Amino acid sequence: MVLETKYKMSKARLDEIREELHYLETVREKEVSELIKEARSFGDLSENSEYDEAKTEQGKLYSKIAELHNILENAEIIEASENIMHVAIGSHVQVKCLADGEIEEYTIVGSLEANAMQGRISDDSPFGKGLVGAVVGTVVTVEAPAGAIKYEVLKITNK
């Protein structure tokens, strides 16, 4: 029995993936096809590095297209919860690190949208798992490589 992975994401992220797939299946596929055609014109394929590189590029392209199709087929659209009583996917959370008092803000997202540099934390990450379900005033403990870190949830919004 094969378990299918569901990819949690916003509608905006789903649309971005559809656009990327359309580009790869139309524009990029034609570009790679032209590279292969051009490389074939150079003669002997057994010693033709341009042909080998073009075929490798084609393999990568088809792999990416298959990956995006899989994501789209197994996408689960997550709408921001109207309930801002507890942290969920789509919540914007303000937390205070109890070790140093630093206040930080994050948005909880599905794993395909995560970007720590932009403050977008996956619900599957240790930090995201610690925050999901928490309410204002809750102290959550997050296991980090440096050890356990405690955060207090200060504010939850649907920014």
For residue 143, the model assigns a pLDDT of 85
Residue 54 within any structural domain of the chain: yes
- Position 82 in a domain: no
Which two tokens mark 147?
């050890």
Q: Are residues 13 and 70 in the same domain?
A: yes
Given 54, 77, 100, which residue is the final one in a domain?
Answer: 77
* 40 in a structural domain: yes
Same domain, 32 and 59: yes
Which residues touch 85 (CB under 8 Å, ≥6 apart)?
A: 135, 156
Residue type, 77: I
- Both 59 and 107 in one domain: the answer is no
Q: What is the pTM of this model?
A: 0.67
Helix, strand, coil percent content, the chain, rounded in steps of 5: 45, 25, 30
Question: Residue 99 sits in a domain of what CATH number?
Answer: 3.10.50.30
Measuring CA to CA, how many Å separate 1 from each of 20, 66, 118, 132? 31, 21, 38, 30
The CATH number assigned to the domain holding 58 equals 1.10.287.180
Q: Is residue 83 part of a domain?
A: no
Q: Which 3 state secondary structure label does DSSP give 44? A: coil
- Show pLDDT as tens, one digit a residue, over the chain (159 residues): 455 678 888 788 889 899 999 999 999 999 999 988 888 887 776 677 888 888 899 999 999 999 999 989 988 887 765 656 888 888 899 999 998 999 999 999 988 888 989 999 998 899 999 999 999 999 999 888 888 999 999 999 886
Domain count, the chain: 2
Instruction: Looking at the structure, tell me whether residues 66 and 126 fall in a common domain.
Output: no
| Structural domain span for residue 45 | 7-77
Quote the pLDDT of residue 90. 86
- The backbone torsions φ and ψ at residue 99, rounded to the nearest 5 degrees and listed phi first, read -75, -40
The pLDDT score that the predictor gives to residue 80 is 61
